[in-house]
Every structure is written in C-alpha cells, then in structure tokens.
Amino acid sequence: MDTHTLLIIGVGLAVAGIVSSAIFQYLHKRANGSGAKKASVLASSLRDEKLKSSIILNAIEDGVILVDEQQVIQLFNPGAAKITGWKVEEARGLAWQSVLKFVDKKGEAIDETVSPLTKLFKEGETIRNNDANILTKSGKIIALSFVFSPLLDDQKNVNGVVGIFRDVSEERQAEQQRAEFISTASHEMRTPVAAIEGYLALALNDKVSTIDSRAHDYLEKAHASTQHLGKLFQDLLTSAKAEDGRLTSHPSVLEVGAWLEQVVSDLKFSAEKKGLFMEFTVGGNGTSIDARQTDEVTGITGKTLRPLYYTHADPDRLREVVTNVFDNAVKYTETGKVSVGLTGNNQVVQIYIRDTGPGIPREDIGHLFQKFYRVDNSATRTIGGTGLGLFICRKIIELYGGRIWVESEVGKGSTFFINLPRLDTQKAEQMQASEAKSSTLTPITSLSSS
Ligand code: ADP
C-alpha cells in the first residue's frame, strides 16, 4: 500500500468523522427522549471517532482537502495550510480555485477548464499527477504531487472531491540536478568516444592502415563497442533533455508522404543487408485507427495519385523516431519482412512500422516506452541496446501532440503506430505561406509532394 492509498484511507476516516458527527448530533437530540442511556454510549464512541479523525488529519504532513459539490472547501488540514500558505480558517469556505491555483512551470495560470478538479467534477474519475505546479498564497511556484478522488452518490454523481497533495519541489530540484549531471557528463564523454571511434575506423580501413587479420578482428570488436558507447551517451543526452523540456525542436508544416518516402529510401538498405524484405505503402490499411475514412484530399507524387498528409512537426526529430523504430524492427527480426506504411483520417496522420520479428509479451507492452526498459529475453540479452530509444520516441511524439504505441503478438511480430494531428490542405498551405513570410532567412523544411 503506498502512502497516498494510506492517506486516502485516513481521509476516508476523516470524512466518516464528519458524517458520524452529524449522526452524533442527531442521536444527541434523540437522547433527550427515551433510551437516553444507550444513545449517550454510542455518542461518546462516535465522539471518540471524530477525535481520532481530527488527530489523523492534523498529524498528516501532506495536504488534505475536501471540496463539496458547490466547489467550496469544507476541510483543509494544517498540512494543506503549510503547503499552500493559506491558513486553515481562511481556506475553509472559499472556492477551491482561490486556494489551489494550478500553473505551468513558468507560473502561467492553467486554463481552468483543463484544471484537475474541474475535470474531476466533470468526469468523476480519480486524477493522479506527480508533475503539477501551484502558486502559494504569496505567489511562489511549488511542485505538487497529488491524488484527487470523487465522492460519488448512488447515481454516480460527483458530490464532492477529496484530495491529498504533497510539495515535491525538493525532489523535483534533485531530479533536475541529476538530469543536468547526466547531460553534462554524457556530452563531455561523447567527444572522446567519437575520436576513439574515428581512429578505430581509420585503423580498420585497409586503404590507410595495414594490420594482420587477428588485430583486425580485435579492432572490429572494439569499434562495435565504441559505437555502442557513443550511442548510449547520445541517447542519455537526448533523454535528459527530453525529460526537462530542453529538447530543441523546429516544427514546420510537413507533408508526411513525400518526407517518409525519402526517409524509408535511406533506411531500407539496413533491412536489405540483413536479407529482410522491405515494403512501403501510402494510404493502405493496416492500422488501428477507429472509424477509418477514405481521404478526400489527394495530391500527385511522382505518377501516383495519393492523399496529402500534412502535420506540424520538426522533420529531423520525426526522422529520429522513425529511424529508431525502423532500426528496432530490423534489429529484432531475423527473417521475413519490415513494412512501413502511411495512412490516416481527417484528424490523424498515421505512420506504422510492422515486422515479422519475435513479438513483445503482453506484460512488457505497458512498460516499453519507459526509460531503460528492455524486454528480458534471449534476443535482448544478445542484441545490444540502451532501452532509451522508445522513451525518446515517445517524448518527441508527445511534443507534437501525437501518440506512439505498439500492438504485438509473440511469435508473429509487432506493429508500432505513430499518430500525429493532421492539418487539412487549406490550413497547411496557409501556415506554409505565413512560415515563408515570417522567415525569409530560414527556408521551409517541408517537402512538397510535387
Ligand atoms: P533498445 O536500445 O533496447 O532497442 P528501445 O527503447 O528502442 O531500446 O526498445 C526497448 C525494448 O523494446 C527493446 O529492448 C526490445 O526488447 C523491445 N523492442 C523494441 N522494438 C522491438 C521490435 N520491433 N520487436 C521486438 N521487440 C522490440
């Protein structure tokens, strides 16, 4: 049981305390009539319960808040007061919006319609977040971790909200320092590793060096390990940046069809080198988009009429994602085929990369896009990797409001899907025109399909 769960139980007790106090008063009134003795025993035990609840609430260091259906704070413990800077008696009776001011990292107010409590009152489902920020009464930004749960009546209407929150500013700062250390260290180490890799490549090049076959063998192994190390440092650097929002990105209007064709033509050699069949389809099926619609917008690429799939993203970052997923498909597939496809509907542009490799066990799928996660099987033990690639992919795709996921069956293969918000052609052309206007120095990175 985690601390939040324990706290929820604590708050449950407190809420029970409030309810019991009402019963207590009722019984107290009744106690003036017949059966007074019985009721007074019950009343004192309820009073004890109330006392216990208030002891618990006062002792909890985390903030505990109870908001009624009118959005008014009914309960605010000393922990909440310490975190927010609002006194218990000040906060009680106020609308929660006045006390819990959710902001982004820069301190800009978050639109109230998407703030957690508004969502909870609307949707009635528990919300957890370890990455929130609020402004204290004095205007200081603090990092907040919280769990807010609805109090539902028999008809599942939200009667109120109970929440537990904790100031995690120190933890977040420590995390930030760790990320900075990793990014500085990996940046510093990448440079000498690149030099070693370069010299090993020269030593292995028979046009510039003469070495015997045994030395060649050793150097090849050293070269492969150095390449792996260089990739690890690069991935560490990128993931540290992705985590603290420092990933550089220069999004522009991108016609994914023409762009992906080029990316695939650069990548296909690695698949062919391994003896894998390679396929590229635009506008075909093979996706899990619901309510698929045929596209109304078409354009001409080479000689083929095909839909135009516009999105707004940095083509270099997107290339990193497709390359990573494609390289994995090749890396983990021994025989068969790697297919890359592009499809979509009016809202979504979808890239998919399918392989006939070993597949991914169901229990691993939920963890695959987490940092350092590698499926523990014979293939991954022998095939090198950092477990950072898919984490970086997720961070990049989320940067553009998209989603990446996998569907897989062990023994049959895997399909990775990348969904990006689609721009309709008219909007894309308008945006391209204004991009061209606003930046006469920087050329538009979008690839035209003509
Ligand atoms: P790695 O550097 O280990 O490849 P990734 O983050 O790119 O790291 O991938 C995480 C893990 O997901 C891999 O270690 C592997 O176990 C699994 N995986 C990724 N792609 C595939 C695939 N196409 N087929 C089977 N397993 C895969």
Residue 278, domain CATH:
3.30.565.10
- 125 and 211 together in one domain: no
- 198 and 240 together in one domain: yes
pLDDT value at residue 380: 65
- 94 and 191 together in one domain: no
- 392 and 354 together in one domain: yes
**pLDDT digits over 405-417, tens only?**
999 999 999 999 9
Q: Which residues, at least 6 apart from 105, have a Cβ–Cβ distance to it below 8 Å?
A: 133, 141, 245
CATH of the domain at 89: 3.30.450.20
Ligand 1 pocket check: which of 340, 374, 407, 418 to mutate, most ligand atoms within 8 Å of Cβ?
374
Written as six digits, the tokens of 12 are: 């449950």
- 307 and 219 together in one domain: no
Higher pLDDT, 446 or 234: 234
pLDDT classification of 147: cutoffs 50, 70, 90:
very high
Whether pLDDT at 25 is above 70: no
pLDDT value at residue 193: 93
pLDDT value at residue 155: 87
pLDDT value at residue 450: 27
- 181 and 159 together in one domain: no
Whether pLDDT at 32 is above 50: no
Judge whether 442 lies within some domain.
no
| Closest residue to atom 19 of ligand 1, CA basis | 328
Q: pLDDT exceeding 90 applies to what percent of the chain? A: 57
Judge whether 198 lies within some domain.
yes
Judge whether 447 lies within some domain.
no
pLDDT value at residue 39: 62
Please report the atom of ligand 1 found closest to the CA of residue 374. 14
**pLDDT digits over 266-287, tens only?**
999 999 999 999 999 987 654 4
Query: What is the average pLDDT across 31-57?
Result: 70
Q: Could you tell me the distance, in angstroms and rounded to a whole number, from the CA of residue 295 to the centre of ligand 1?
A: 33
- 187 and 130 together in one domain: no
- 268 and 388 together in one domain: yes
pLDDT value at residue 306: 78
pLDDT value at residue 283: 79
| Closest residue to atom 4 of ligand 1, CA basis | 385
Judge whether 3 lies within some domain.
yes
**pLDDT digits over 191-241, tens only?**
899 999 999 999 999 999 999 999 999 999 999 999 989 988 989 999 888
- 228 and 107 together in one domain: no
Whether pLDDT at 302 is above 90: no
Number of independent structural domains in the chain = 4
pLDDT value at residue 163: 95
Whether pLDDT at 377 is above 50: yes
Query: What is the average pLDDT across 430-440?
Result: 81
Judge whether 438 lies within some domain.
no
Q: Could you tell me the distance, in angstroms and rounded to a whole number, from the CA of residue 329 to the centre of ligand 1?
A: 8
Domain that holds residue 196: 172-244
| Closest residue to atom 13 of ligand 1, CA basis | 374
What does pTM read for this prediction?
A: 0.67
Of the three residues 28, 60, 92, the one that is the final residue of a domain is: 60
pLDDT classification of 19: cutoffs 50, 70, 90:
very low
Whether pLDDT at 296 is above 80: no
pLDDT classification of 145: cutoffs 50, 70, 90:
very high
Query: What is the average pLDDT across 348-375?
Result: 94
| Closest residue to atom 8 of ligand 1, CA basis | 387
Q: pLDDT exceeding 70 applies to what percent of the chain? A: 82
pLDDT value at residue 180: 84
- 70 and 150 together in one domain: yes
pLDDT classification of 23: cutoffs 50, 70, 90:
very low
pLDDT classification of 299: cutoffs 50, 70, 90:
very low
Is 413 close to ligand 1, i.e. is its CB under 6 Å away? no
Please report the atom of ligand 1 found closest to the CA of residue 386. 2
Of the three residues 129, 148, 167, the one that is the final residue of a domain is: 167
CATH of the domain at 204: 1.10.287
pLDDT value at residue 287: 44
Q: Could you tell me the distance, in angstroms and rounded to a whole number, from the CA of residue 369 to the centre of ligand 1?
A: 9
Please, what is the average pLDDT of the chain?
84
| Closest residue to atom 9 of ligand 1, CA basis | 387
Higher pLDDT, 342 or 228: 342
- 227 and 149 together in one domain: no
pLDDT classification of 45: cutoffs 50, 70, 90:
confident
Higher pLDDT, 385 or 35: 385
Q: Could you tell me the distance, in angstroms and rounded to a whole number, from the CA of residue 328 to the centre of ligand 1?
A: 6
- 156 and 180 together in one domain: no
pLDDT value at residue 27: 39
Judge whether 190 lies within some domain.
yes
**pLDDT digits over 249-267, tens only?**
999 999 999 999 999 999 9
Of the three residues 207, 226, 244, the one that is the final residue of a domain is: 244
Is 357 close to ligand 1, i.e. is its CB under 6 Å away? yes
pLDDT value at residue 164: 96
pLDDT classification of 53: cutoffs 50, 70, 90:
confident
Judge whether 8 lies within some domain.
yes
